[in-house]
């Protein structure tokens, strides 16, 4: 990361800094005094608590300066009306100053995995920086930009949103040279109304791009087709469809490996990854398309994806106490829930799906949870569902032919855990999945502790 003076930052965001503090420098930014590092800019955000109240603590912990809306003493500070907006403007200024290319990643499902794959591919050839986990919003992404090394050649920014104009705001800050849209699904439909509304919100990513920018879109997603006719930027498609410039074929998922072939122009090469499930192909194809467009040799792309390991908590598979666990607790929507159930269904052994609610579905919640139950009935042996929509999942299971003794709804995690402890046996495969707010990892952790006590701490 590079040092920024308060004078420069104030010029970018239109803030006021006392002349005696103009040459004070900071490295990076933080809005949390618990995570604040010495020399950073403390951003006093207005939320449930007034961030200005934490300024004394921030200074005691070694903050170089503060970005605030209210001066509370004599210390290096940039005074602004809105610290959130000012943070974005400072990050936008730094992004423009650094001579790096920016790849923006968005989509309804899988954007974090895609971001990680894109970064893995680019790291083989360029000095690459990326947004950390949970830094894809209007606070996290600007702070990630301010933390990037000055010699960064390519920055990979995950860009999330759940309301209109949020993506446009992020795009104006990050100004992607290349933008990737992985898919258009039903995540956040509660706030965006329809799938068409979600498409419109995602397409705001183009607003911060130059006319000579490049959009890489999933050609297998019907919502993303024919957009090359309405966008000023160059549009190229990746996927399995014949019209895709970067095309995959011969897809196979077996024995813990995902294999497929890639064709782009005269180039053709196989790809192998240690991942389960065909749904990862679109994420990998996005990374391949970005890599090829930026000049990464195919052999480096192959090596990067072969060695790729997904983020913890995202379809993380491991074995303990005689059980196989699939931990997919980071988030959930109808599309990702279906994909995880298919992965579980392909496993050998008795299959138990421990499912939490999918949030932010609005009017679609009842129907989508019922549909998940129908899918589960075809793929698994037991379903233990928890949350306000758990009974809808069970109804779908019963309609799909699952015995009522094997499809159970629970109002609290404790009751679900007791039932899971009763029915689960070594040799079973257990999937834990739900939206982030359902905290399904808590059930998994408690089940593991229960098994640890039963087995005297021996995980074998």
| Model pLDDT for residues 411-423, shown as the tens digit of each residue | 999 999 999 999 9
In this prediction, residue 219 carries a pLDDT of 95
Query: Where does residue 389 fall: left (phi above 0), alpha (psi -120 to 50 degrees), or beta otherwise?
Result: alpha
d(CA 256, CA 275): 6
Question: CA dihedral defined by 68, 72, 74, 78, rounded to 10 degrees?
Answer: 10
Q: Which of 188-202, 254-268, 272-286 has the lowest mean pLDDT?
A: 188-202
In this prediction, residue 384 carries a pLDDT of 98
The answer to whether the CB of 262 falls within 8 A of the CB of 268 is: yes
- Report which of 164, 171, 173, 199 is spatially closest to residue 185, judged by C-alpha positions: 199
303-355 pLDDT, tens digit per residue, is: 999 999 988 778 899 999 999 999 999 889 898 999 999 999 999 999 999 99
Q: Is pLDDT at 295 greater than 80 in this prediction? A: yes
DSSP labels, 172-197: HHH--SEEEE----STTHHHH-SHHH
Helix, strand, or coil here: 455? coil
CA distances from 165 to 112, 128, 203, 268, 303 (A): 21, 28, 10, 39, 38
Beta strands in 240-302 (DSSP E): 246-254, 257-264, 267-273
d(CA 58, CA 160): 28
- pLDDT over 90, % of the chain: 81
In this prediction, residue 460 carries a pLDDT of 60
99-108 pLDDT, tens digit per residue, is: 999 999 999 8
**What is the average pLDDT across 144-167?**
94
Buried b / exposed e along 398-411 (16+ C-beta atoms within 10 A): bebebeeebbbbbe
Query: Where does residue 255 fall: left (phi above 0), alpha (psi -120 to 50 degrees), or beta otherwise?
Result: left
The answer to whether the CB of 368 falls within 8 A of the CB of 390 is: no
The domains of the chain, with CATH numbers, are 4-87 (3.40.1390.10), 98-306 (3.40.1190.10), 316-454 (3.90.190.20)
59-104 pLDDT, tens digit per residue, is: 999 999 999 999 878 999 999 999 999 999 999 999 999 999 999 9
Q: Is pLDDT at 47 greater than 90 in this prediction? A: no
Residue 396 C-beta-side C-alpha neighbours within 13 Å: 24
Mean pLDDT score of the chain: 94
DSSP 8-state secondary structure symbol assigned to residue 159: -
d(CA 136, CA 226): 27
In this prediction, residue 459 carries a pLDDT of 64
215-226 pLDDT, tens digit per residue, is: 999 999 999 988
Given strand 214-218, what is the order of strands in its sheet? 128-130, 154-158, 101-106, 178-181, 214-218, 234-239, 246-254, 257-264, 267-273
Q: Which of 187-196, 246-255, 280-289, 383-392 has the lowest mean pLDDT?
A: 187-196
pTM of the model: 0.85
Kind plus residue range of the DSSP H or E element containing 302: helix 298-306
């Amino acid at each position: 990361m590079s040092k920024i003076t308060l004078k420069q930052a104030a010029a970018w965001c239109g803030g006021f800094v006392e002349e005696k503090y103009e040459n004070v420098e900071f490295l990076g930014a933080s809005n949390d005094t618990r995570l604040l590092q010495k020399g950073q800019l403390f951003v006093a955000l207005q939320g449930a608590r007034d961030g200005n109240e934490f300024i004394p603590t921030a200074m005691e912990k070694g903050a170089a300066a503060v970005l605030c809306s209210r001066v509370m003493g004599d210390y290096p500070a940039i005074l602004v009306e809105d610290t959130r907006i000012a943070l974005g403007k400072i990050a936008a200024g730094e992004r423009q100053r650094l001579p790096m290319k920016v790849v923006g990643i968005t989509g309804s499902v899988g954007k974090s995995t895609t971001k990680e794959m894109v970064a893995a591919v680019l790291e083989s050839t360029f000095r690459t920086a990326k947004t950390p986990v949970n830094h894809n919003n209007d606070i996290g992404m600007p702070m990630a930009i301010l933390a990037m090394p000055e010699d960064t050649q390519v920055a990979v920014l995950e860009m999330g949103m759940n309301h209109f104009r949020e993506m446009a705001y992020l795009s104006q800050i990050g100004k992607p040279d290349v933008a990737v849209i992985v898919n258009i699904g039903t995540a956040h439909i509660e706030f965006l109304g329809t799938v068409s509304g979600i498409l419109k919100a995602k397409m705001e990513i183009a607003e911060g791009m130059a006319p000579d920018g490049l959009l890489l879109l999933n050609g297998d997603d019907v919502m993303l087709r024919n957009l090359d006719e309405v966008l000023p930027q160059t549009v190229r498609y990746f996927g399995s469809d014949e019209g895709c410039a970067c095309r995959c074929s011969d897809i196979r998922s077996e024995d813990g490996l995902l294999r497929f072939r890639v064709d782009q122009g005269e180039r053709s090469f196989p790809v192998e990854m240690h991942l389960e499930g065909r749904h990862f192909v679109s994420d990998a194809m996005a990374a391949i398309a970005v890599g090829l467009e930026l000049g990464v040799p195919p052999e480096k792309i192959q090596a990067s994806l072969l060695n790729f390991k997904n983020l913890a908590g995202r379809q993380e598979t491991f074995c303990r106490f005689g059980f196989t666990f699939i931990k997919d607790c980071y988030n959930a929507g109808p599309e990702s829930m279906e994909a995880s159930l298919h992965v579980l269904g392909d496993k050998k052994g008795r299959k138990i799906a421990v499912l939490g609610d999918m949030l932010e579905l609005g009017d679609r919640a009842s129907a989508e949870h019922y549909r998940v139950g129908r899918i589960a009935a075809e793929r698994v042996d037991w379903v233990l569902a928890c949350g306000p929509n758990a009974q809808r999942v069970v109804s779908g299971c019963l309609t799909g032919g699952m015995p009522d003794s094997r499809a159970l709804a629970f109002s609290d995690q404790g009751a679900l855990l007791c039932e899971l402890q009763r029915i689960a046996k070594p040799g079973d495969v257990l999937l834990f999945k739900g939206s982030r707010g359902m905290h399904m990892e808590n059930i998994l952790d408690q089940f593991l502790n229960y098994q640890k006590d039963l087995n005297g701490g021996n995980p074998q």
